[in-house]
Amino acid sequence: MNTCIENPDVVLIGSGVMSANLGALLKRLDPALRIQVFEAADELAFESSNGWNNAGTGHAGICELSYTPKREADGTVKVQKVIDIFQEFEQSLQFWAHAVASGMIDNPKEFINPVQHISFVQGADEVDYLKARYAGMSKHHFFAAMEFATDRAKIGAWAPLLTEGRDPAVPIAATKMDGGTDVNFGNVSRKLLAWLGSQEGCSVLASTKVVGLRRAEGGVGRGHRTPPSLEKQAGYGDPALQKTQSASWHVTTRNSKTGEERTVTTKFVFVGAGGGSILLLQMAGLPEAKGLGGFPIGGHWLVCDKPEIVARHQAKVYGQNLPEAPTMAVPHLDTRILDGKKTLLFGPFAAWTTRFLHRTGSWTDLPRSVKPHNLATLLKIAATNFPLVKYLLQQGTQSMADRMKVMHIFYPNAKAEDWKLVDGGIRVQAIKKTDGEAGIVHFGTEVLTSADKSMSALLGASPGASVSVDIVLKVIKESFPHLITSPRMAEIVPTYGTDYRAPENAAVFAKLALEARRRLQLV
């Protein structure tokens, strides 16, 4: 639907993977909901969710070493975080599988494909670390199929580019699982939004920037009605729920092509605008956002399209992050399927920027975000993260030869003439008052929700897109608690509500996971 919904029940700002999943889930759980999506750019899901602007790794904790700390004093590696992430990613697979099976979306190979996930290290200390990581992970049923190797021939059989031309005197190790995925989050977002926009009472509008976001005086706007599911829910008369449902927001938008402005009133706003979320939260004057700031980090990839090289690497290979680099800049050599063809990406390489969004951002974004309430926080982080600032400046001035030195850690025989540098989008690292000296390099994905549950916003970075369904289910639980207990949940996300990390649930999990992967054509 291309016309704006008058006084929708839900407004989603941004057309990325978070908004797409949230909108689709809400509509499946309550078909009577009226949902409006606003996207500032002319195209949908072309910022952080765009396939070229992220690694496309279905982050399931399999190969990402940044999710597991170094060895403990007793030599072990804590692996609980990767177990948690694996279960969270499974929620995404389950919902997308339901979307395919129910006809919401089609052709899953256009957005998800199987690819082995490999962790790769070199040097005696790193080999010992990876062995300990493998020992901890392989005990859990999620990772029972993981393999560990130090033998060069075996590692070379998994990924020949890793071993050819490598110094035989340096010990190496790798782990591998064949159950990994490559995901085009932009494509799955556009598919879900196409379905959502075709539903009664729903609209998805591009070229429509939110220029005003303020609380409505006296509650919901004129003409706003309560969805039937809210009217029917037990306890709707509770004072706490009445407070939530009476809150509302005026959302003013401007069409970038016609200049037309329009204001709608809604009961719930989700800010899924990527880097633009910081400025929108400041516009809304949300008390919970006081002291919140943002630090933008640009990115670049090295890309290889040569068929003879691409054909020899069928994996996503992650290593250790470089000194001073943020966790979002952990180097990896990835098989990608983008624009209908297979390619190789290496990176990302960070870059200094003051823009919060790649397509619709401005160099003034960072200066405009500095307010009296977050100035002290930003100054503190700057003072305690000088090595990160130095790293970003160094990254932005790198030559091709500098970048190839990093690639040679993974692919010793790589030649500069086989690779080209492309833009990798922008990530805005959220900075909170509670961030201490550890600072922004350790801040992950988080949802900020207003006290009255009428607004939620996504902040942070990895593993965000991969666990988007789990994240938005938490949003629904907070702001639409009557929907999270719907009997439909068992059909829409079969794994929701059960802890499949527990050993006693391993057999049931295996059955559900296999069915989802069959629907997604991964097996």
pLDDT above 70 as % of the chain? 82
pLDDT of residue 1: 54
Average pLDDT, the chain: 84
Question: Does residue 118 belong to any structural domain of this protein?
Answer: yes
Peptide bond into 228 cis (omega under 30): no
In a domain, 523, yes or no: no
Q: CB–CB of 62/444 below 8 Å?
A: no
**Tens digit of each residue's pLDDT (9 = 90 or more) over 51-65:** 777 778 888 999 999
Whether 511 is in a domain gets the answer: no
* pLDDT tens figures, 270-295: 998 776 778 888 888 888 777 777 77
Contact 47, 41 (CB under 8 A): yes
Q: Domain for residue 522, yes or no? A: no
Q: Which domain holds residue 413?
A: 10-506
pLDDT at residue 107 greater than cutoff 60: yes
pLDDT in tens, 310-334: 999 999 999 987 655 555 557 889 9
CB 397 within 8 A of CB 350: no
* Domain assignment of residue 512, yes or no: no
In this predicted structure, the answer to whether residue 224 has a pLDDT above a threshold of 50 is: no
Q: What pLDDT sits at residue 290?
A: 75
Q: Is residue 518 part of a domain?
A: no
Of the pLDDT bands very low, low, confident and very high (cuts 50, 70, 90), residue 443 is very low
pLDDT at 71: 86
Which residues have CB under 8 Å from 271's CB, separation 6+?
13, 14, 277, 280, 281, 284, 455, 456, 457, 458
Q: What's the pLDDT score for residue 190?
A: 95
**Secondary structure (DSSP) of 330-357:** --EEEEEEETTEEEEEEEEEEEE---S-
Judging by beta carbons within 10 Å of its beta carbon (0-12, 13-18, 19+), is residue 457 exposed, middle or buried? Answer: buried
One-letter identity of residue 42: D
Q: CB atoms < 10 A from the CB of 259, how many?
A: 7
pTM reported for the whole predicted model? 0.87
Is the pLDDT at 381 greater than 70? The verdict is no
**Number of folded domains that form the chain:** 1
- What is the CATH number for 324? 3.50.50.60
Q: What is residue 340's predicted lDDT score, i.e. its pLDDT?
A: 83
> Of the ranges 93-102, 252-261, 264-273, 281-290, which is most confident?
93-102
For residues 219 and 244, the answer to whether their CB atoms sit within 8 Å is no
Enumerate residues 6+ apart whose C-beta is below 8 A from 29: 476, 480, 483, 486, 488, 489, 492
- Split at pLDDT 50, 70, 90, the class of 120 is very high
440 pLDDT tier (thresholds 50, 70, 90): very low
Structure tokens at 337: 């399927």
The whole-number average pLDDT for the span 218-233 is 45
3 state DSSP class of 12: strand
Q: What amino acid is encoded at 457 in this protein?
A: A
Closest CA to 383 of 427, 437, 431, 329: 437
Q: Is residue 425 part of a domain?
A: yes
Residue 520 maps to a domain: no
Q: CB count, 10 Å around CB of 139?
A: 11
pLDDT at 94: 97
Residues 473-502 have a mean pLDDT of 93
Q: Residue 81 class from Cβ within 10 Å (0-12 exposed, 13-18 middle, 19+ buried)?
A: middle
CB atoms < 10 A from the CB of 187, how many? 23
pLDDT at 175 over 60: yes
Q: Kindly list the distances between the CA atom of residue 512 and the CA atoms of 88, 517, 518, in Å, as whole numbers in the listed order.
A: 14, 9, 10
Q: Give percent above pLDDT 90 in the chain.
A: 57
**Three-state SS sequence of 259-302:** CCEEEEEECEEEECCHHHHHHHHHHHCCHHHCCCEEEEEEEEEE
CA–CA gap between residue 129 and residue 324 (Å, rounded): 20
